[in-house]
Copies of this chain bind each other. A is one copy, B any other.
Amino acid sequence: MRETNPDEEKYGHKAIANNQFQHDVCRYMPVIRTLPLFAGMQKAAIEGILKCARIALYDKGAIVFLQNEQASHLYIILDGWIKIFKGNISGEESVLQMVTVGESLAETIFSSHGLYPISAQAVEKSRVLAIPASVIHEHLETNNRLALNILSIVAGRSQHMINQFEQLTLRTVTQRAGRFLLSLLLESKKRTGKITLPYDKALIAAYLGMQPETFSRVLQHFKERGIDIERDVVFLPDLFALCSYCDIELASKCPRHNTPECPLMGNIN
C-alpha cells in the first residue's frame, strides 16, 4: 500500500544504526510524569501507556521519520532539538517548527490517511520517547483525560502554526528575525540582555523562512542599531531594545506585559 518515498535515499533513512532502543524508560519517569501529555493521569494509566514505549537516541542529522511514511509512533523530546519540516521534490524544504525538551510530535499520528504529513530530523544529538501509535489509539478509546491532553497539545500546536503563518505572510525578514530574538530573550529565565542562539544560523534562517545570507544581513542591520552580536551570542544594550517586535503571543510570556514598564503600553499586535 505504501508509496515509494524518494526522500528515503536522499536522507539515508533506514540506515540509522544508532536508534538504540532501550528499556530504560523508567529512568526517565520523573521527567515523563510531568509531561503535558500525562497531566492529571493516574500513575497506573501512565505506566500502562509507557509499557510499550521506548527511548531512542538520534545523532545530529538523523531522520526520526519522513513524510508519507506510515505513522507508527508518537514522539516526545527528552533532550536535544528536532526539526519539523516539509520537503518537496526539488529538494527545497520548509521548516514548520523546531521542537525541544518536553514537547511532542503528536498531531502527526492522527493524520487521516495514517501517514506522517511531515518529516522530522534531529539537528543535534537528541533523546526521544517513542510511544507506538497503536497504544495511543487504544488508550484514547477509554482514557478521556489522555484525549483531552492530546487535544490541548494539538490545539496549542495549531495555534503556534497560525502565528508562524502570520509571520511569514505579513512580516518582513527584519521583523521576523527581531521577533525571534525577542522570543529567545523571553524564554531565557534569567533576564540579562544576553541571548544565545539555540542552533545553527542557517537553521534559524530556514525556520524564519529566509536565506542564510539574508539572516546574516539582518543581524548586521541590528548591529548597526547598537545590538552587539558575536558568533552565536547576542548582547542587548537594554532589555527593551527588541520590544518593538513584540506581539500578543510573546507578550503573554513577558513579565512586564500590562504593566507601566511595557514600552508599548498594550498597543500590541
**Chain A residues within CB distance 8 Å of chain B:** 3-4, 6, 68, 86-89, 92-94, 96, 107, 110-113, 117-118, 140-142, 144, 147-148, 150-152, 154-159, 161-166, 168-170, 209, 248, 252, 266-267, 269
Contacts of A118 in B (CB 8 A): 162
Among candidates B148, B159, B170, residue contacting A88 with C-beta atoms closer than 8 Å: B170
Which B-chain residue is minimally distant from A249 (CB atoms)?
A: B117
Contact, CB under 8 Å: A155 / B156: no
Q: Which of B112, B140, B154, B165 contacts A96 (CB 8 A)?
A: B165
A163 to B117 alpha-carbon distance, docked (Å): 9
Question: Of B92, B141, B147, B158, which one neighbours A170 at CB under 8 angstroms?
Answer: B92
Could you write out 14 A-B pairs with CB less than 8 Å apart?
Answer: A6-B269, A87-B269, A88-B166, A88-B170, A88-B269, A112-B155, A112-B156, A117-B162, A118-B162, A154-B155, A157-B158, A158-B161, A161-B161, A165-B168
Nearest CB in chain B: distance from A224 CB, A: 24
CB neighbours of A87 from chain B (8 A): 269
Copies in the complex: 2
With a cutoff of 8 Å between Cβ atoms, the chain B residues found around residue A154 in the complex are 107, 151, 154-155, 158
Contact of A110 with B151 in the complex, beta carbons under 8 Å: yes
Report A266 CB to chain B, min CB distance, Å. Answer: 6
Determine the distance from Cα of A93 to Cα of B171 in the docked complex, in whole angstroms.
Answer: 11
Indicate which residue in B92, B155, B169 contacts A111 across the interface (CB closer than 8 Å): B155
Contact A266 B3 (CB under 8 A): yes
CA distance A3 to B257 in the complex (A): 12
Q: Which of B147, B169, B266 contacts A147 (CB 8 A)?
A: B147
Q: How far is the CB of A119 from chain B (nearest CB, A)?
A: 11
Say yes or no: A164-B165 contact (C-beta < 8 A), given A154-B155, A159-B107: yes
A249 to chain B, nearest CB (A): 9
